[in-house]
Amino acid sequence: MAASVRGRHHPPLGRAVLGDHGPDPALGYLGGDRTAVYGLGCIGHGVAMSYLNGQALADLLTGDEDSETVRQCPFVNRRVIPWPPEPAATAAKYAIRGYLQAEDAFHERTPTLAPGRAWH
């Protein structure tokens, strides 16, 4: 779905931008031309603030960088740690996914007891 801000048509972004390793959201401009913005880390406690994040991103797109929403939002232009370059990025993704799958399997296994023992 395309967006229109102040009469300017913006095509949809075709893929997600990943790169935030911190626990807090990050908002800002994507690149130096200031025609596209990003929002990262809106999970967990970031979901509750997503409507304010959206307002801050809309203000950035319309050029209103001095709005009260943008000034009071601590997540605007926060430095994020980027993903490593390939092939390290693919290795890191597979390692994280494998670890999470192993942890899920470990914690979801059916507990067994020795014969004659009961849970207390």
Q: Taking 80 as the threshold, does the pLDDT of residue 114 lie above it?
A: no
Q: What is the domain range of residue 106?
A: 84-110
Residues 91 and 74 in one domain: no
Residues 67 and 34 in one domain: yes
Q: Taking 50 as the threshold, does the pLDDT of residue 113 lie above it?
A: yes
Residue-by-residue DSSP string for 10-67: EPPPSS------SSS-EEEESSSSSS-EEEE--STHHHHTHHHHHHHHHHHHTT-TTS
Residue-by-residue DSSP string for 86-120: TTHHHHHHHHHHHHHHHHHHHHHSPP---TT----
Q: How many domains does the chain have?
A: 2
Give a yes or no: residue 119 inside a domain.
no
Q: Are 18 and 35 in contact (CB under 8 A)?
A: no
pLDDT reported for residue 17:
42
What mean pLDDT value characterizes the chain?
A: 75
Q: Taking 80 as the threshold, does the pLDDT of residue 81 lie above it?
A: no
Separation between Cα atoms, residue 19 and residue 40, nearest integer Å: 8
Mean pLDDT (whole number) for 77-104: 87
Residues 72 and 91 in one domain: no
Q: Are 80 and 19 in contact (CB under 8 A)?
A: yes
Residues 49 and 96 in one domain: no
Residues 88 and 52 in one domain: no
DSSP state of 109: S
Give a yes or no: residue 117 inside a domain.
no
CA angle 107, 111, 114 (to 5 degrees): 150
Instruction: State the pTM of this model.
Output: 0.52
Residues 60 and 98 in one domain: no
Q: Alpha carbon 17 to chain centroid distance? A: 8
pLDDT in tens, 45-59: 667 777 888 899 899
Give a yes or no: residue 17 inside a domain.
yes
CA neighbor of 29 nearest in space, from 83, 77, 78, 82: 77
Q: Taking 70 as the threshold, does the pLDDT of residue 107 lie above it?
A: yes
Residues 26 and 67 in one domain: yes
